[in-house]
């Protein structure tokens, strides 16, 4: 992604993304660190089909080709998935069952002609229930019957069913117990090992340092730094998160969101 600029939809003239540029390779986990209100979520939501803000400019390239993602549907079609921070309001329909939620982002995959194949729907939901270790006796139960960690697993399953190339995770372990955190972090690593490009936003620096291959820092809508995990520590990240200086001219940069290397 190159020179991405987005205006706050509620405050005219306030830019929440200021000429942001970054890249992530296939099989790589890239973290985004920043203080509350830095613009990390706004950046990722705007990438996901311009789901947030007023687009002012910038380009996205996937596998070297420029793409125009003007809707959530087009982002999904181009292999991008986004797990939001607010799972209850943005990630789930609290009136739905687990089985309906699991297939909801990729209904075309369970169509038989013009009708939904309910047997296939159940099969898919069961497969993800078992593989993600969702603690429930039945996928026909409502998502509201699940704990926060198990709700998050269902949201992950929903987006994994779209078979994305690029998976954006916004605070994937917030508000869940230690056991579920471990399982989700293990799953993230497995997805990267499968060749997925994974982007993680997290307020927990130890989490980012433990799982990311590289980390970008964001301050007041600008990407202010990039550091490899081997060279990163909490003190260095905090300095970069509270500083308006741009990326070092010698740092590695590529004008694309996703690159097969």
Domains, in order of start, for the chain: 2-79+164-259 (3.40.50.300), 91-163 (no CATH)
Whether 188 contacts 159, CB under 8 Å: no
What's residue 140's pLDDT?
Answer: 97
Question: 113-154 pLDDT, tens per residue?
Answer: 999 999 999 999 999 999 999 999 999 999 999 999 999 999
94-107, pLDDT tens digit by residue? 999 999 999 999 99
pLDDT of residue 154: 97
Residue with tokens 């998502």: 143
- At 75, list the tokens: 């982002």
Work out the pLDDT band at 244, boundaries 50, 70, 90. low
Counting Cβ atoms within 10 Å, is residue 117 exposed (0-12), middle (13-18) or buried (19+)?
middle
pLDDT at 243: 76
* Segment 173-216, tens digit of pLDDT: 998 999 999 999 999 999 999 999 999 999 999 999 999 999 99
Position 250 scores a pLDDT of 37
Percent of the chain at pLDDT above 90? 89
Beta-carbon-side half-sphere exposure of residue 11 (alpha carbons within 13 Å): 4
- pLDDT digits over 48-84, tens only? 999 999 999 999 999 999 999 999 999 999 999 999 9
Q: What is the pLDDT of residue 249?
A: 36
Between CA 114 and CA 165 the distance in angstroms is 27
Q: What integer pLDDT is reported at residue 259 of this predicted model? A: 45
- Dihedral, CA atoms, 15, 17, 21, 25, nearest 10 degrees? -170
What was the pLDDT predicted at 260? 37
Q: 102 and 161 in contact (C-beta within 8 Å)?
A: yes
Strands 65-67 and 54-62, how do they pair? antiparallel
């Amino acid at each position: 992604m190159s020179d991405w600029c987005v205006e706050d939809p509620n405050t005219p003239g306030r830019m929440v993304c200021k000429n942001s540029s970054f890249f992530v390779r296939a099989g790589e986990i890239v973290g985004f660190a920043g203080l509350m209100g830095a613009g990390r979520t706004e950046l990722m939501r705007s990438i996901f089909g311009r789901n947030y803000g007023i687009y002012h400019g910038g380009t996205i390239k996937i596998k070297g080709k420029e793409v125009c993602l003007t809707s959530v549907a087009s982002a999904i079609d181009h292999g991008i998935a986004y797990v939001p921070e607010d799972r209850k309001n943005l990630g789930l329909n609290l009136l739905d069952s687990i089985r309906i939620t699991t297939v909801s982002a990729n209904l075309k995959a369970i169509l038989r002609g013009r009708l939904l194949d309910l047997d296939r729907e159940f099969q898919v939901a069961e497969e993800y229930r078992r593989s993600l270790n969702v603690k429930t006796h039945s996928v026909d139960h409502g998502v509201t019957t699940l704990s926060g960690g198990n709700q998050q697993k269902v949201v992950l399953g929903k987006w994994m069913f779209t078979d994305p190339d690029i998976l954006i995770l916004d605070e994937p372990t917030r508000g869940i117990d230690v056991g579920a955190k471990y399982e989700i972090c293990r799953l993230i690593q497995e997805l990267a090992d499968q060749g997925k490009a994974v982007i993680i936003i997290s307020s927990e620096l130890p989490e980012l340092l433990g799982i990311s291959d590289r980390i970008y820092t964001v301050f007041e809508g600008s990407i202010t730094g990039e550091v490899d995990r081997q060279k990163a520590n909490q003190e260095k990240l905090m300095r970069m998160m509270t500083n308006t200086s741009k990326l070092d001219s010698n740092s590695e940069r590529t004008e694309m969101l996703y690159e097969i290397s």
